[in-house]
Amino acid sequence: MQFPPDTIDLEVYGRFASEVRSDLPRRSRQSVVPRNEEKFDERQAQSSFEIRLEGPADLPRIMFESETRVEVVQLQPHRLTLNWREAIPGTSYPRYKALRKRFMALLGLLLAALDEVGQQHPVELAEVTYVNPIEFPGDDATDGVGKTHPDLANIINRFKKRSKTAFLPEAEDARLQARWRIPDKAGAPIGRLYLSVEPGLRPSRLKSPALTTPDVPPQALTPIYVVNLNARVMPGGNTVDRAMKALDVGHEWVVLGFEDLTTAEMHDHWGKRE
């Protein structure tokens, strides 16, 4: 959830940290994530990078982690985030319903702390992100997974497969970015769905989506594509109920968008059921 700038001050940091200490004992200080803003009255070019200078008095982004590092809660002056990650190989994803319940409890703790200091806290944006590391069973497969990046058209159905008579060989790898407007029931835009696809490498012997692997020899790395879907939805009201409903809309667009974008070949590989 994103709030107006500087909604969360140092006193609120302390109150929130005290409430989550038993569940999230690990702490670290990180750079602040830039604010997001969705405008629909003009066409916007996507910025490729941003330079941000932080002063010594600026509040940081604090990461609160569980002992297993599976659950991560991030707090900064305008943002509360809950992340789940497969920090332990083989950990089962708890599904959206469980994460939604956990996030609502964390949001309640934050809003109570803001109320105690007399701070207004309208939610500007609800955001849902799924990061999907995708392996492809290629012709050169070892343990069911290819040794090179496959044609992205095998995974994302918005790509056209290479013709057998094409001059160029298959691309070594590829990248893709796209975005869609999310409408309300009347058709007015209330948010956007963002897609990014990037090539990556995963340790072959570890069932983990880690992408940075300096200690793993090159021959042990498996080529993957990382499909990132991010939905940002404006709640259209200041209540917690509206904010959570906006989160649900974002979740729906991410899940159905992923199904719509991926190929029938991959659905069969995953054993997808209706």
Give Cα separations from 149 to 72, 135, 161, 168, 172 (angstroms). 31, 9, 14, 16, 7
Give the domain range for residue 255.
126-270
Q: Which among 93, 116, 139 is the end of a domain? A: 116
Mean pLDDT of 146-151: 77
Query: How much of the chain, in percent, has pLDDT values that exceed 90?
Result: 67
Q: How far apart are CA 175 and CA 173, in angstroms?
A: 7
Q: Are residues 108 and 132 in the same domain?
A: no
Q: Which among 57, 85, 116 is the end of a domain? A: 116
CA nearest neighbour of 62 among 75, 77, 71 = 75
Q: Are residues 57 and 176 in the same domain?
A: no
Tell me the Cα Rg of the chain: 21
Q: How far apart are CA 126 and CA 79, in angstroms?
A: 10
How many domains would you assign to the chain?
2
First to last CA, the chain: 31
Q: Which among 116, 149, 177 is the end of a domain? A: 116
In terms of average pLDDT, the best of 86-100, 117-131, 145-159 is 117-131
Q: Are residues 261 and 177 in the same domain?
A: yes
- Measured torsion, CA atoms of residues 205, 214, 137, 206, in degrees rounded to the nearest 10: 20
pLDDT at residue number 210: 46
Q: Are residues 96 and 141 in the same domain?
A: no
Q: Are residues 257 and 187 in the same domain?
A: yes
Give pLDDT tens digits for 192-231: 999 999 999 988 654 444 444 555 555 578 889 999 999 9
Q: How far apart are CA 244 and CA 233, in angstroms?
A: 10
Q: Are residues 131 and 234 in the same domain?
A: yes
Q: Are residues 107 and 133 in the same domain?
A: no
